[in-house]
Amino acid sequence: MRSFYGTTLANPLMLGTAQYPSPAILAEAFRRSGAGVATVSLRRESGADRAGQDFWAMIADLGVPVLPNTAGCHSVKEAVTTAHMAREVFDTPWIKLEVIGHTDTLQPDVFALVEAARVLSEDGFQVFPYTTEDLVVAEKLLHAGCEVLMPWGAPIGSGLGLANEYALRSMRAHFPDVPLVVDAGIGLPSHAARAMELGFDAVLLNTAVAKAGDPAMMAEAFSRAVLAGQAAYAADPIEPRDMAAPSTPVIGKAFLE
């Protein structure tokens, strides 16, 4: 089993902590889903004097590994600064590296991402880069020191699912030993299950749960979906077979031809 910098997750669901109706509902979503990782943003909440510390303490109390992120950072320098603060606040070398290139779609700036990944990896961080499905960028991230890749399924918050499944399958095939996480764009548990069926090692999502009418119930649904997809991949599914266009007429023939 592929691990994340030596850590094996209890559950391949990585759940974000933003946008919930309340911290109590957030905690309930984690309890009911058994999510294996909690991601948390620091950039906007940090304030002048670490003003977000009450909320961060609640996240730390969830009892799951915390993956702080650099959401809201648009440059290498911002991302590196935020990562350093995250390491201090949560006492972890893990960092989900986001360097946003486009403010509307929140598409990553992959050039700055590779540079920030190099700087942080050299500084001892264990980087989880939020990237596109581009294989060349993926290789450069690995060379920069990343041991995990997190391609998007679709733009952040869009709920569109796996917009380019072919590319995600390519990624799995090209990097058989690298832990891969589909990060962003997930809307439904079926999207998450599909990502796991493709052999991905985890799925990271936030909006689909936090903005659901019943976030805790949706979190549980996602948990079941990723576990089902993970088991399906491990069980080696059958290949689909197209029966719609028989090469010869079947009437009068033996079925097993």
Question: Which CB, 24 or 173, lies closer to other proteins?
Answer: 24
Question: Which CB, 22 or 247, lies closer to other proteins?
Answer: 22
SS3 29: helix
Question: Which CB, 50 or 174, lies closer to other proteins?
Answer: 50
Catalytic residue among 77, 96, 211, 253, which?
Answer: 96
Contact 101, 109 (CB under 8 A): yes
Going through 29-180 in order, the beta strands assigned E by DSSP cover 37-41, 66-69, 94-97, 126-131, 150-151
Instruction: Please say if 211 is a catalytic residue.
Output: no
Q: Residues forming the annotated binding site for 1-deoxy-D-xylulose 5-phosphate?
A: 157, 184-185, 206-207
Binding region for other proteins (CB under 8 A): 21-25, 27, 44-49, 51-55, 58, 72, 157, 207, 211, 213
Closest CA to 95 of 107, 79, 111, 109: 79
Contact 161, 197 (CB under 8 A): no
SS3 2: coil
Chain-centroid distance of CA 92 in Å reads 18
254: left (phi over 0), alpha (psi -120 to 50) or beta: beta
Question: Which CB, 58 or 135, lies closer to other proteins?
Answer: 58
CA gap 23, 155 in Å, rounded:
25
Quick one: which H or E segment has residue 205?
strand 202-205
| Residue keyed to tokens 């918050």 | 157
Closest distance to other proteins from the beta carbon of 16 (Å): 13
Closest distance to other proteins from the beta carbon of 37 (Å): 19
Closest distance to other proteins from the beta carbon of 196 (Å): 26
Q: Which residues are catalytic?
A: 96
